[in-house]
Amino acid sequence: MISVPKPVTVRVPAKVNLYLGVGSADFTGYHDLATVFQSVSIFDEVTIKEAPELKITVSGLNSTQIPLDSSNLVWRAAQLFAQACGVDPNISIHIEKKIPIAAGMAGGSADAAATLVACEAFWKSEIPRDQLDAMAAALGADVPFMLHGGCALGTGRGDVLAPIMTRGHYYWVFATFNQGLSTPSVFAMSDALRRDEVVQTPEVPAEVLQALSQGDARALGRHLHNDLQSAAIALQPRLQDVLDYGRESGALGAIVSGSGPTCAFLVADESTSIDLVVALMSSGLVDNALRAHGPVHGPRVIQAID
Ligand code: C5P
């Protein structure tokens, strides 16, 4: 009797860039980055089941915006994995979305990383870690970090990872918007804004790494930085008001998350995070406000029926 693989569910967190330094673009159009990623506790769930052919379904907030065909990174992740194992990707993939979409929190990359982990458990295939990392890098610049999680330094396109020493537990509030921003257009705007400047090779400042190694949220708050922030604000000017409002309401630091438009506020503790969510929601400046903490671990199988 042929045994049918059992459904597998993987939970995967979002990310925020604590520091995002952007250099110049290479001939492929990708920019040289120096960034510090941290995984935060807003999770998508990806479930894989046996099916007649590859199929994607999505549920959750704003999920109608997500493509269900081969333009979805999840589709390409499943195909890439199946090809490496020599199987047909006859699976259905359901994505339960909690990570805001087109928001600068790497939701699509998170789902692709979760799909790789789910495929590995579903087909019980032991792919060497470096091969899985190479698949992740082929899917997108953020996918290698989303496969690992925790906290890491990213260089190259953001896909060359190195571990960093981090202590402590950081409390966040994320202000989100129903209208997303396209990552390529934010990078293009950033290039346009800097066209008369000599763009330096990006480097993560020692102060950021020191704050993390000491678990010093106040120092980290002072040194949060994102080179894409002015481009995101140029495309959605109200983000400046949101960042100012968060700082005035007690955040230790405020930045646009990744390519935006989500605004990330580092706060001192849980009770401040509750107060800030209430303040942001009543300000009328944002569509939603979410609490989270980090760092959290990367994608994990949470259900595999044996
Ligand atoms: O790799 P990924 O598909 O996630 O990247 C999305 C877009 O973001 C790229 O097409 C590119 O426009 C931009 N990008 C970049 N430099 C990076 C990473 C992403 O210009 N290092």
CB 63 within 8 A of CB 22: no
- Residue 261 in contact with ligand 1 by CB distance below 6 A: no
- Residue 299 in contact with ligand 1 by CB distance below 6 A: no
Q: Residues in the chain with pLDDT < 50?
A: none
**DSSP strand E in 249-294: where?**
253-256, 263-267, 288-294
- Contacts with 169 (C-beta within 8 Å, 6 or more apart), sequence order: 215, 293, 294
Instruction: Identify the bridge partners of residue 163 per DSSP, sorted by sequence position.
Output: 152
Residue 82: the pLDDT is: 96
7: left (phi over 0), alpha (psi -120 to 50) or beta: beta
Ligand 1 atom closest to residue 29's alpha carbon, by position in its atom list = 20
Residue 92: the pLDDT is: 97
Residue 174: name the closest of 21, 298, 58, 15 by CA.
Answer: 15
Instruction: Report the C-alpha gap between 172 and 40 in whole angstroms.
Output: 8
**Ligand 1 geometric centre to CA of 123 (Å):** 30
CB 17 within 8 A of CB 226: yes
- pTM score of the predicted model: 0.96
Catalytic residue chosen out of the listed positions 44, 133, 142, 159: 142
Instruction: Report the C-alpha gap between 264 and 122 in whole angstroms.
Output: 35
- Residue 112 in contact with ligand 1 by CB distance below 6 A: no
- Give the number of other Cβ atoms within 10 Å of residue 216's Cβ: 16
- Contacts with 44 (C-beta within 8 Å, 6 or more apart), sequence order: 11, 12, 14, 60, 95, 96, 97, 98, 99, 107, 110, 111, 114
pLDDT tens string 107-154: 999 999 999 999 999 999 888 999 999 999 999 999 999 999 999 999
- Residue 30 in contact with ligand 1 by CB distance below 6 A: yes
Alpha helices for 123-236 (secondary structure H): 129-139, 143-148, 183-193, 206-214, 217-223, 229-235
Q: Which domains does the chain have, with CATH numbers?
A: 8-159+296-301 (3.30.230.10), 170-294 (3.30.70.890)
Residue recorded with tokens 């906290």: 151
Residue 65: the pLDDT is: 87
pLDDT tens string 180-211: 999 999 999 999 999 999 999 999 999 999 99
Fill in the amino acid letter for 237: P
**What spatial distance separates the first Cα and last Cα of the chain, rounded to whole Å?**
16
Residue 291: name the closest of 41, 112, 93 by CA.
Answer: 41
Q: Is residue 15 flagged as an active site residue?
A: yes
Residue 2: the pLDDT is: 59
